[in-house]
A and B are shown apart, each in its own frame.
Chain A
């Protein structure tokens, strides 16, 4: 008996049995670029968490003897017009940019996801109403809509996140709607109906788990986008206000000193780019890993 059980078990192991998650992870691991993105995100996350330990100076620590000094051993990314250490400000700013990215995307994902899922599941008039409203918002270029919202709410970090978050809602509503709609087309949804499943059972056991993959990909890619939008608004002075070391705001401040202190504008921009790049790399990799058909 026992031997038979073990042979069966061995056979099962020999057949490469993997869940979808393991399968995805295996493919993701093979993608060097995606791994690089993931590593960078993890590192950035660590920098944000341990900013106080990593940054040699406080984000608003001014040193009037060292104004607009270029990169040196003490301030290896230079200092700004108030003698603050650019490196420290960027390190502290990572907290802001990452939270902006995650919070705005979460707002868009929850509200947009809810609207999109409702629209897809109920269809008909509900769908029409929700999606037409989303069309209206989408007809206003996103960045400009965010400017309108910020101008109504007043410039501040919180309002910035609200504005960019709202801006993201229609985007997610559309994606989740189409994702749920295409999942709904599968015969296994009908099969679940035939065995007497309730709507809720179908939504939670079949629709959501199967629609999640593309949403995850889009959310990852979207985080990068929202970071750019948010820093753009801060750059225009419509987002985070001084002395907050938001990267876009740092760039904006550096702009005035471009001719005398190039480092002030250069490095915050590099920080934004690297962060957004990391999310894009991971997003692309996830997409390829989740749907190998799309990988070319």
Chain B
């Protein structure tokens, strides 16, 4: 197993290096001069030119990229163009909130999604199935920023007007109560997605020959579904949920914005608005690394569920 983990980690390296290149290239060819940005519009041209020299902005593209990559190995992502603080520190400050939010959302999503998916698949064509599938369809069709606003409207604004107190705070971060609405907002689309995948995967598995074998043994339906079918059905669910985690990360940017959560996503939007390229670059890289690590975890989980993969790496 260890060998497998190491192998997967190594295979991540070229992708991440590729990501650094793509991100660096996009940022490099962006209009606007970081030196001017750092010094302000009124700075004398000579000063700006000296700054450009110091920041290495006059070097050829590949040399700049080389320097960037070299810095990366020492966890040096450069300096924020607005505050002058190291990008690494800025991100490290904001990372915990984002991770907490994403983790809470995914837990909510898996819990709700798997249960709804199982119910829908085992009661195919009933009201439960139809209902669950329609709710799931609404869930994937709903923009989460709208859901966020609606929740604020209902649970903060209307609730406050009616009952005179705030049920869930609409902004800020720190307590569990603060996390409830953002986690639901971010988790809904994911839960809906997992519901759909779980259902179709369960239906597919329930059609398999080995399920018929299990039934022909005289096992009761609950054992057939939860023991024989579910474990097989979860494999595609785990993979797809992992791939889809990227969408959840993207959604966290908007969610953080709505609920004023001091996470990376808000920092990203601020940085984009202030054209703080070094910070944007660093944040996008961090997101890509988180995403890759999650997919690594998914692969490991997969290997834990499926003996066919375990054998390859014994």
Instruction: Show the binding face of A for B, using Cβ within 8 Å.
Output: 132-133, 135-145, 147-152, 154, 224, 228-229, 231-232, 235-238, 248, 251, 254-255, 258-259, 262, 265-266, 268-269, 272-273, 276-277, 280-281, 284, 294, 296
Query: Are B288 and A141 neighbours in the complex by a CB distance under 8 Å?
Result: yes
Contact yes or no, A277 B250, CB < 8 A: no
CB of A258 within 8 A of CB of B157, answer yes
Bound-state CA distance A229–B143 (Å) is 8
Interface contact A236-B141, CB-CB below 8 Å: no
A141 and B18 within 8 A (CB)? no
- B interface residues, tally (CB under 8 Å): 54
Choice from B26, B147, B149, B288 contacting A255 with Cβ under 8 Å = B149
Is B19 part of the contact surface with A, judged by Cβ < 8 Å?
Answer: yes
Kindly list chain B residues whose C-beta atoms are within 8 Å of the C-beta of A281: 137
Instruction: List residues of B (219-246) whose CB comes within 8 Å of A's CBs.
Output: 245-246
Within the complex, what minimum Cβ distance (angstroms) separates B270 from chain A?
A: 11
Contact for A141 among B21, B273, B291, CB less than 8 A: B291
Residues of A within 8 A of B27 (CB): 148, 152
Closest A residue, CB atoms, query B276 = A151
- B22 at interface (Cβ–Cβ under 8 A)? yes
5 contacts between A and B (CB under 8 A): A141-B291, A143-B247, A148-B284, A235-B254, A296-B204
Q: Are B287 and A141 in contact (CB under 8 A)?
A: yes
Give the contacting residue for B157; candidates A149, A259, A268; CB below 8 A: A259
> In angstroms, how far is the closest chain B Cβ from the Cβ of A225?
9
What 7 new A-B contacts, CB under 8 Å, besides A132-B14, A148-B26, A269-B145?
A142-B250, A147-B253, A151-B30, A152-B26, A251-B149, A276-B143, A294-B200
Write out the residue numbers on chain A whose beta carbons fall within 8 Å of the beta carbon of B141: 224, 273, 276-277, 280
Tell me whether A135 and B15 are in contact (CB under 8 A): yes
Q: Does B184 contact A (CB under 8 A)?
A: no
Cβ contact of B138, chosen from A137, A259, A268, A277, cutoff 8 A: A277
When distances are taken between beta carbons in the complex, the residues of chain A under 8 Å from B181 are: none
Q: Is the CB of A296 within 8 A of B26?
A: no
> Contact: A235 with B145, CB < 8 Å?
yes
- Chain B residue nearest to A167 in the complex (CB): B250
What is the CB-to-nearest-CB distance from A278 to chain B, in angstroms, rounded to a whole number? Answer: 8
Given contacts A141-B291, A148-B23, contact A251 B145 (CB under 8 A): yes
Cβ–Cβ < 8 Å partners of B275 in chain A? 151
Q: How far is the CB of A108 from chain B (nearest CB, A)?
A: 16
- Name the B residues within 8 Å of A141 (CB-CB): 245-247, 249-250, 287-288, 291
Q: Is the interface of A mostly helix, strand, loop or mixed?
A: helix
Contact of B268 among A144, A255, A268 (CB under 8 A): A144
Q: Are A236 and B143 in contact (CB under 8 A)?
A: no
- Whether A258 lies near B152 (C-beta < 8 A) is yes
Q: Which residue of B has the minimal Cβ distance to A279?
A: B141
A277 / chain B contacts, CB cutoff of 8 Å:
137-138, 141
Contact with A along B65-80 (1 / 0, CB 8 A): 0000000000000000
Query: Do B153 and A262 touch (CB < 8 A)?
Result: yes
Given A139, A151, A273, which contacts B146 in the complex, CB threshold below 8 Å? A273
Contact B146 A265 (CB under 8 A): yes
Cα–Cα, bound, A112→B126 (Å): 39
Contacts of B19 in A (CB 8 A): 136, 139-140
- B147-167 contacts to A (CB < 8 Å): 147, 149-150, 152-153, 157
Give the distance to chain A from B17, nearest Cβ to Cβ, in Å. 9
Are A140 and B153 neighbours in the complex by a CB distance under 8 Å?
A: no
Q: Which residues of B contact A268 (CB under 8 A)?
A: 146
Query: Contact: A269 with B250, CB < 8 Å?
Result: no
Chain A residues contacting B26 (CB-CB under 8 Å) are: 148-149, 152
B246–A142 contact, CB under 8 A? yes
Q: Which residues of A contact B142 (CB under 8 A)?
A: 269, 273, 276
- Cα A149 to Cα B250 in complex, Å, equals 14
Closest residue of chain B to A294 (Cβ to Cβ) is B200
Complex contact A236–B254 (CB within 8 A)? yes
Interface centre among A150, A151, A265, A294 (most CB of B within 10 A): A151
